[in-house]
Structure 1
Amino acid sequence: MVKAKKFVLEKPFDGFPKASDLKLVKEDLRPIKNGEFLTEAVFLSVDPYMRSLAHDVAIGQTFIGSQVAKIIESKNPKYPVGKYVVGEFGWRTHTIADETPPLPKGYPVPWIIPDLEGLPLSLSLGILGMPGNTAYFGFLEICKPQPGETVVVTGAAGAVGSIVGQIAKIKGCRVIGVAGSDDKGKWLTQELKFDHYVNYKDKDFETKLAEAAPDGIDCYFDNVGGDLANKIMRQMNLFGRVSVCGVSSAYNNKDGAKADVVQFAVLFKQLKVEGFIFTRWLDRWFEGILQNKQWIKEGKLVYRESVRQGFENMFDVFVEVLKGDNVGKAIVKV
């Protein structure tokens, strides 16, 4: 009998998550049935969205999240033993799975990782997985960037924002990354080749942003929301486009996002503001993965992973991500 370890929700998050909100437990797994397969986690993803969807997790339920897992037993010919899959299995070491659509609702069924041509498996949780496709589709399909335009990305040093900025550079745009530390800024400008970095904590943020974008902002990829989004949208050009990917400024705020009314900027600048969830493009899933892989091979996309060893460290990494302490994609190796 296989013994699994998993983190379950002990009590609902109240503001910023506490270690006591989750409980690490063991579970004896039953034998698999026809159509099922058994996986063993190799890498687990840690993402800000987990906090925003925590209200959908029932008490006693495994906490949500995706992982790269190896198939170690199978009674489903579509999922042969030895293959690696990405599945929304949550924070657990072993999983009995099938082709039933998982939670969160609307997420893809477990998918077998294609040939990565020597690239790390863990990238399937980052630039060659959900974050990469979020950046690829969410930026290109909504902002529709044109060469020479100015693009602003918030959460620019995170898993999604760092990819968005690089894709914008590939498309011939000027890119301004907004992040919370000078170390992140150096990474953005020196390694990822962003044109400018602005620290959102700077008391003169709006002035610094205007200096970095003297001709205004054409596209804004928003991972943060709140008052920061309001400040940026006031500096956008006529017919600017805003792709709303996340509201990380409000994930731990009991009262939601705090911001001034943005309708004046939307109205008088005639902005297009559109939110999205990456599942909109599930029918084109491997298009984004293959294109991002090609750009990596061509040296046009650079990635960074923050990898922590040990399943027991999941919560600590989760806290680091919510505080913005990580650079690039946060991963836990089991």
Structure 2
Amino acid sequence: MRGQFLREQPVHMTNYSASIETTGLGLNHGYCLDGDFVHLNADVSLTEADLADGGQWHLQLWASVAGFDGLALNGVKVAELALQPTPGAFNVAACVAALPPAGCAQQVMALALVEQSADGYVRVRDLSVYPTAQTFFQPFMHGAVSCQLKDGVAEIAIESIASPRAAENVSGTLALEVWALAAPYGGGAWVGTPVASLVLGTLAGGTTWSDCHYSVPAVTANASAALTVMLREWTPAGYLTRDYRNLPATVAEAPVATVTVSEKLEKKVEKKVAKKPAPKAAAKPAAKAAAATAPVSVNKASVGELAAVKGLSQGVAEAIVAARPYAKIDDLVRAKGMGPKLLEKVGKLLKV
């Protein structure tokens, strides 16, 4: 979905008072969706005592079909804005990338004030739930959807693919992807085997592709896997899932190899080869040497490739992947476990 802004906008902060007693959101706050971006605006209060630990603070916009209970977060994090740890009451406003949930269900929206301590512990300090449900207008699959796998080919049939957006709002490039997952897909990140993919092109708002039939080269999936067809759209943040259907798996033979993928915005692929792997002691130095010769992309590298960078643990590598995308290297501080000191140490080994 193409919005008015082509990139994120600078953060604007206006201080109101340096003397406050509690940390939390003020009465005035809100959000406004604008294509692939969202405008966030909120009055925020941070006490000196709460800032003493040196943690990181963020505004987060969340969407949930089930709603929210107390300060517990659930659903999909749509947007995040890093805050300057300034004591007092102030207003913050910015335009940031929006990562809406897949599907057409109405979502309960909430704005959260979140603190991440130096040791990586995340704590929700305040949460405000909006009374009006949000509908995300994005391309979707309508009617019957099926996928048959046989002899290295995926036969995909979709009754129609439609865009509910305004006529002048042309989609980003749309693609179909078929995945064999460990469990039925429910939105957000997933782990599974990529089976087949096809680039469809762009779709104007208010229009429909009907009686869609595609024959696509495919790899063999595990017969017990949960087969999922995803409709994905290219955005400034990469490909995002706009709609999906979980289907019964239909395969002709057992797989010969498995590729396990954990993805949020960009694909992060780690292969599990049937042959006996090389000893870890021999493989790890080679990965370290490769990392030393060229910076590793924090937006594209797999967890394994990031963990091979000297100074990055497996946990921090996973946190970097989970917090994608990044506009600049300094944005890595929002990843769990990545503090300023660690970023200073490994920053030269990384790139966006």
TM range (shorter): under 0.3
Higher relative contact order (CA 8 A, sep 6+): 1
Which one has the largest radius of gyration? 2
Q: Say which structure is richer in strand.
A: 2
* TM-score, normalisation: structure 2: 0.24
